Structure 1
């Protein structure tokens, strides 16, 4: 391959005071102001000033075990409501959230996301998830607890129904013809007539087709959601990243899709300062501020295994998921207490400690080697981590011709170079047995 052209894509998730388990105790964090409008609006506006593609309101990181102990603030605001607020104080940046296909219903969610897409001018993204994420559960008299297989099956039906609902209005269905007294061309609005295992939905949706056709769908790995258009990847090394990236592009071609119709962003948590020594000191501060129980509880949630019952000192417990993660991250030999402050590395996020110039070099190297199409920031500390990238790293990337100097489109699909998956059309479809 020759020298890579194009621009790096950037997105960011906001979660509490940051993604390091010791973040909220750091004096530079926004702890105590996490749920105030000014704090949340400022984060979104900073990301937009930095010309980021997407901001994700993340409320999935903190598990029930940690919330119950009161040792981590989390982001407790309902994400779609928050996105509505953020849409009112931004103009270009995309806005996304994970939503539960287990706790919610497809008609209601499709309507919410369509409304957000209209209110934001086509900037909405969603991650369909089988988790509950603290959402209020509806009463399932016949199936109070589904198996993972049933949740996955329900999610597939859920996303299919949502897509058909968005497509139940054709492009140009709203005509507002004053002369004839017709507001809607009824021939362009369709009943979907869905009857499935989990849902019965007649449709059409009670709101016109979203500006993007479909809100952008993102996922945490290509394998977890083969229909995701934006993939937030967590490889442990550049070699692994490049291999996964090449495989994904090949698979897209086999499926009859253009390779650039799916974008991959590498998860990155930068800890930056004016000198390497200062950055190392900041990283050490965050590790020292980590409550071991809180870190272990977070790690338990991320690895899907309860590690809180094991002693914190001495060798780590012989838990396969933890052993594999420690080996992949190059953190073998550390005690469970020491691993408690390394949750990001243990789950594949690239933790970079250094100066803005060094991070720009690192990002250029990964991008040039086709490790990804860009980077998804999980700031160790908020607002500090986002500020440093938006105000110091982005200008360096712009000077190198690696990042946009202005938004050239209005929708999230414009920013990412993604087509409308419906092509602006729809098929009426029939009854699904």
Structure 2
């Protein structure tokens, strides 16, 4: 197979002080600034200076048991509010965040995302997530807790409703005709009457169609799920080997609704000037992890309190635990060791080596069609991002694998994604 044409894509996620467990305890972490907007401004501007495609605010679900350990709580600021602030201090980089479809209504989210897309000039992305299952417990009223199937069904309907609301305005609906006294061409703004299992929504949306048509949608796919995501523009994929990544890539691309989908492999790079230095840094990070935090993380993940089991004995017969361990290639570990490794990798690929080796590894995965690019979950921030953009990005650019300048202004242009077709709705809105 010859060298693959084109250039790869890069996205970076931001969650607190970094993605390695205990990163907030690292001496280089700016832990006291995790609620300071200037901390996020610097990260976004650093990523934009390097011409990355996307910065994603990861408001990840933190379970009750893990939170009770006193661990650093991830993203402290409300992500949509922060996205608006970041749009004002950047010009080109895409900006994204997750939406919990289990507890929020689609009209409000569709309006927020449309507004952010207008404010940013077409740079907004979103991940529809059904995973925040504890949120109803923290609210008075609101939707009840749903089963997994109900949450997935609600998410699918949520995404459908949001798309219909964005499509309720045609291109050119705003005419601002001073002479005729008509600001809007009412023939290009359409009613919708959605009545589904989870939502009853009447349109049109109260803001014109977003610059991107629809904000870019992100999906996730884990090897532990062994499923294909519903249609999305970007998929953050976690696959432990190139063979499995290429197999997933090929199967996904065969789907008629995934022709333009970009697959970005999630990787946590731990880098050093030499392999020995990188291994030393990985060992130092590992020592910052609290073993009890690992057990709490596994307990939340498998919905079972594991703290009463032997940490050094065989793994308990918890539904899904042994299957997940086998799929991740972590067989033979004690419960204590497994908890520490789970915190370290969280299902993602951890790369330990030099910047040049990481650039070579990315090139190999890209050329073998294991990925269209990479989703970075850096171990410690902001230093991990500074290191990546200062050393790995130039190495990729020298290989001709990554842009040196943005060629467009919207996120869809960065990702070479087509504008979604504006689907016409019947006169009655159904």
Q: Same fold (TM over 0.5)?
A: yes
1:219: which partner in 2? 219
SS state of the match for residue 46, structure 2?
helix
What is the Cα deviation at residue 46 of structure 1?
1.3
1:46: which partner in 2? 46
What is the Cα deviation at residue 135 of structure 1?
5.0
What is the Cα deviation at residue 373 of structure 1?
0.3
What is the Cα deviation at residue 61 of structure 1?
4.5
Deviates more, 1:88-97 or 1:310-319: 310-319
2-structure distance, mates of 1:82, 1:100: 16
Distance 1:329 1:193, change over 3 A: closer
1:356 is aligned to 2:355: yes
2:232: which partner in 1? 228
2-structure distance, mates of 1:429, 1:389: 52
SS state of the match for residue 55, structure 1?
strand
1-structure distance, mates of 2:49, 2:300: 33
Deviates more, 1:219-228 or 1:163-172: 219-228
The answer on whether the counterparts of 1:312 and 1:337 sit within 8 Å (CA) in structure 2 is: yes
What is the Cα deviation at residue 234 of structure 1?
0.4
SS state of the match for residue 254, structure 2?
helix
SS state of the match for residue 374, structure 2?
strand
The answer on whether the counterparts of 1:21 and 1:298 sit within 8 Å (CA) in structure 2 is: no
Q: Superposed, which structure 2 residues align to 1:13-412 within 5 Å?
A: 13-132=13-132, 144-221=144-221, 223=227, 225-252=229-256, 255=257, 259=259, 261-302=260-301, 305-319=304-318, 321-343=320-342, 347-412=346-411
What is the Cα deviation at residue 99 of structure 1?
0.6
The answer on whether the counterparts of 2:127 and 2:217 sit within 8 Å (CA) in structure 1 is: yes
What is the Cα deviation at residue 102 of structure 1?
1.2
What is the Cα deviation at residue 286 of structure 1?
0.8
The answer on whether the counterparts of 2:314 and 2:334 sit within 8 Å (CA) in structure 1 is: yes
Can you list the C-alpha shifts for 1:167-195, whole angstroms capped at 9, x where unaligned? 11100111112222221111111111222
TM-score (norm 2): 0.93
The answer on whether the counterparts of 2:20 and 2:344 sit within 8 Å (CA) in structure 1 is: no
SS state of the match for residue 277, structure 1?
helix
Can you list the C-alpha shifts for 1:129-164, whole angstroms capped at 9, x where unaligned? 1123765666657x6232222222222221111111
The answer on whether the counterparts of 1:107 and 1:165 sit within 8 Å (CA) in structure 2 is: yes
What is the Cα deviation at residue 375 of structure 1?
0.6
**Count of aligned pairs:** 425
Q: Superposed, which structure 2 residues align to 1:418-433 within 5 Å?
A: 418-421=417-420, 423-424=421-422, 426-428=424-426, 430=428, 432=430
1-structure distance, mates of 2:221, 2:428: 32
Distance 1:123 1:301, change over 3 A: farther
What is the Cα deviation at residue 327 of structure 1?
3.0
1:417: which partner in 2? 416
2-structure distance, mates of 1:412, 1:429: 32
| RMSD of Structure 2 on Structure 1 (CA) | 2.1
Q: Which runs of 5+ in 2 are unaligned?
A: none
What is the Cα deviation at residue 251 of structure 1?
1.8
